[in-house]
Structures are given as C-alpha cells and as structure tokens.
Structure 1
Amino acid sequence: MTTYAFPPGGMPEMTDDPASNGAHFTDSYAFIPASTMRDITASLLPRWFETRAWIIARPMTGFAETFAQYAVEVAPDGGSDNPEPDRDAEAVLFIAKGSMELIVAGQTHILREGGYAYIPPRSRWTLRNAGTVPLKFHWIRRKYVHADPYDDPSPFVTADQEVPINWMNDDQNWGTTRFVSPDDMRHDMHVNIVTFKPGGRIPFAETHVMEHGLYVLEGTAKYLLNERWVDVGPGDFMWLRAFCPQACIATGDTNFRYLLYKDVNRHVELTL
C-alpha cells in the first residue's frame, strides 16, 4: 500500500541528542530530516484558518533560489478563501493525507491521498478540508516565468494513482511519474514523483542546471549530496543547488519514492 510521508509534529524525547539527526546546511545542498519538523518549527499563514505549515524551503541567499516548499496541515473546517498572496505565483498541491476541496477557475474538485493539482499564476482558488480528520498536503510555490510565444498553462487535477511510471531503463528499477509532459513549453517547473525499487540506483553522479527540492514520501536510500552519502527516509527533505553532484541507491525492501521539484524549459538569467 502506498503511503505519503508528512512532518511528524509533536516533540522528540528530551533524552535524544539534539545533533543526532544528521541535519546539514551548506552552500551547495541541505539535508533537513523529518525529525526537525516539530510543533515549535511550524508557522501560521495569513488568511488561512485552522492551519499550520512547515516552510521547508524559501528563496534566500545560499539556499533555494527559484521556489518555496511548504508542508501544510489543515484541521476539519479549516482552509482559506485567499490562499496565495502573490498573483504571479504558480503552485502544485500534493495530498499526503485526508481530503481536500479545491475550487479553481470555477471548478470544484475533491482530492484525496495521492491527489495532485497544478494552479497557474493569476488564478482564483480556494481550499478547504473536506473531511473529518486533518488534511495534510505539500505545497510548492514558484514565481511563474512566461515565455513567448507560448500561452500560460491551464489548471489541472490528477492523482499519483492515475499516471503511469516512466521507467528510465530496461530493468524498470528507476522511474518517474511525470504529471506534465517534458516538452510542454508552457511549464517552467516540473513537480514529479521519482520511484526506485529496492536496489535501484542512479548509476552516475548527476550534475545539471536544474535546482532540486526532494521530499521523501516513502522508503529509504543512500543519497549522494555533493561529496557526502546521506541515509534518508520518510519525511526527510533535500535541497540541491544547480550543478550539485547527486546520486541515489535505494535500500530496504520497499520502494523509495520522493516528490521532486526542478526548474525547466527557460533560458538562464545572465545577471545575478
């Protein structure tokens, strides 16, 4: 059965070594383990009700440059009629637990675990917890970069369960669930799910222009971040700066899966 990790909240045992979780923050990558995402590190958001959020990544010097990433928990009857303060922001929502009522472009959608929504910039949308248990979802925000002569994207709703995995090799041990076609030039970001079967691996140290945000949804792996191999598991987050070497070896006896952000399909800016 597929499960989707989410910050644990609460508080750890007071006997734990505060430095034992292995968190790293560098100029080329960050490893932010699930154990750091506790009640005291959650934030409240303007115009959201009965809601708290872990802001895992944000644009800042020496960290994420092109996106912000939240893990949002909404109590029953909570939500927002004005969720997005930046009219130029686009969004991907991915449901980890519970049930969401999303109204976008005048259409009402009910999303459940594994549900996925893309919301383009300048959209009017609202969001409510549609169930009786807390709604938990991942929210990736990016300031949209328009490219002529292409139209801006349209909103859409789908689900992890509805999109086949595109396997990267004949062994089918490493693949990507692509919610947007790679050659759709309207889109300037991809938010995909990457799946490794036990023992699956990235067979070389990738370096590339795309910035990455990776939130581990399930399973375990050893992940290469620049020069360091890190043991990762459900709820851990990794940020990789452009060109940071990366590779992966799935461990354990279940699939290793993560939600992946990357910026795509645009020329690079020539000034800092």
Structure 2
Amino acid sequence: MKLVSYWDHTAATPEPSYGAVVGESIVDLATPAVRTLREALTTEGIDGISRRLAKKGPAEGISLSNVKLLPPITEPHKILCVGLNYLLHAKEANLPVPTRPSVFVRFSSSFVGHEEPVLLPAESEQFDYEAEIAVIIGRRARRVSEAEAMQVVAGYSCMAENSIRDWQRHSNQATPGKNFVGTGAFGPWLVTPDEAPVPEEMTVAGRLNGETVQHDSGANMIFSIPQIIAYLSTFTELLPGDVIATGTPAGVGMSRKPQRYLREGDVFEVAISGLGELRNPVRNGF
C-alpha cells in the first residue's frame, strides 16, 4: 500500500485525513475515532489498515489533484536522525567513519509535505540539501534485536533532511541547524514493505534543479536499518508512527567546490527507487 496524510480542498469542512493511494485517487480511511495515520498504526497496524482498504469501493476515491499532501506522519512522537551513515559522505566531510550511529532529533514543525516550499531562514545562507530514506515504525519496540528489527517497520518514505550548516556548527550538537521551521520535507507517501524493495536495493538520488547531485545505494550505509533500529530501541521505546532518517549520501552542497547551497527559486527532489519522488521548491522564509 501507499498511505498518505492529506488535506482535501474540496470537502465541505476541510480537515486533515489519511488514506491509501489507488491509481490517481486516494481512498479515505479515517474514522471519527481514528483521524490520523499515526493513530491507525497504533490502534490496528498495517494489517488492519489493509483489511479496511479491501472493504472500500473504487467509487470512494478522491482525486490526488484535489488534495494537499502532508508529511505521511503528521505528528510523530519522535523523529530520530542518523548522521554520517554513508562512507563517501563521511569522507567528503573529512570526518572519521563512526563506530556507532550518530543520532540527533528533529521536530515535526521542521518538515513540510510534497510540493510544499521548504523555507530558507533569514538567518543563514547555508541551507543545504540531504536526500534520505525514511523508515516509519509500525509497532512498539524496545530492545529489539537486529534479527527482529524489520518486523517493526510499517514502511518507507522519501525525506529531504536538509540542514542549516552554520547553525549546525554552533556547537557539537546538530539540533539548531536541523530544526528551523519548514526546512525539511517528507513524503509523498508511506510505502509498505510488501510493495517496496529491500533497503539494500534502494537507490537514493538527490536532484537540484533537475541535475543529479547525490546518488548512492542503501547497500552502502555504514549502519544498516536493522542495526539502526536495534541501537535506537536500546535507549528509547520506538512507537508506531515514529520516523527514522537513515543518513544522506555524498554530494551535499557544503562539500562541493564551489559550495552550492539552496537559494530561493531552486527545486530539490528526492528520488528513491520503489518509493517515488519528493519535490519541493525553495522559498525565502521568516
């Protein structure tokens, strides 16, 4: 399944909802008691969502052209991000290859959905792009082994886990440079594991104004997704709808000569095989 969170502009009383993409339409799956995809993952899981979709008719679809796509999980409990997870990216940054995952946290307010502008803060001219595979957790997980880790995955999505580089370097904590409002993007949908390639077979590409500036394979992660999930679930309980950003490949603007940061009018796209494409224009923020 491809699951989305969205805003239906044509509804009599528009409000956020969620559903499944079928062709060029969305079949709404929200109920009065369960309005969000995160709540659905918590209460019934992917299997329950699939069963309810099977009971819906094709006439119940809403055209994709009539909706605004939101981040697939609109209010996750946690967004956990792994830095320096591709060997060539560590090399281009002139940093040692990590022996343990480098983890930081982002807030949901720092992300927008597909086709929404990402915002260049007035405080910086070092707005950098980062294409990544995002993992969405589907069930509670604490101290999960690597062998069992993939059983807690609800699906995958595309993420532009962008950075404000000068603010990222204010201290040894990445938090300030990762959490300006609307600087990242996430979407367009969650693809369940049964319809997605295994992560090692996913190719991750970042395109700036149509030019491929990042390209690598999930097979080249320093820490695999099972290793990341096992590590994270050791120190915190992962909850349904939690999001994990798995690191960006080489080719970021900071490491280019000359450096190339995002500017107003640019368009950055994240394309991941089997997951789709996330597209966001860049606009001056506030």
For the superposition of Structure 1 and Structure 2, which TM-score range results when normalised by the shorter chain? under 0.3
Which structure's relative contact order is higher, taking Cα pairs within 8 Å and 6+ residues apart? 2
Higher normalized strand content (fraction of residues): 1
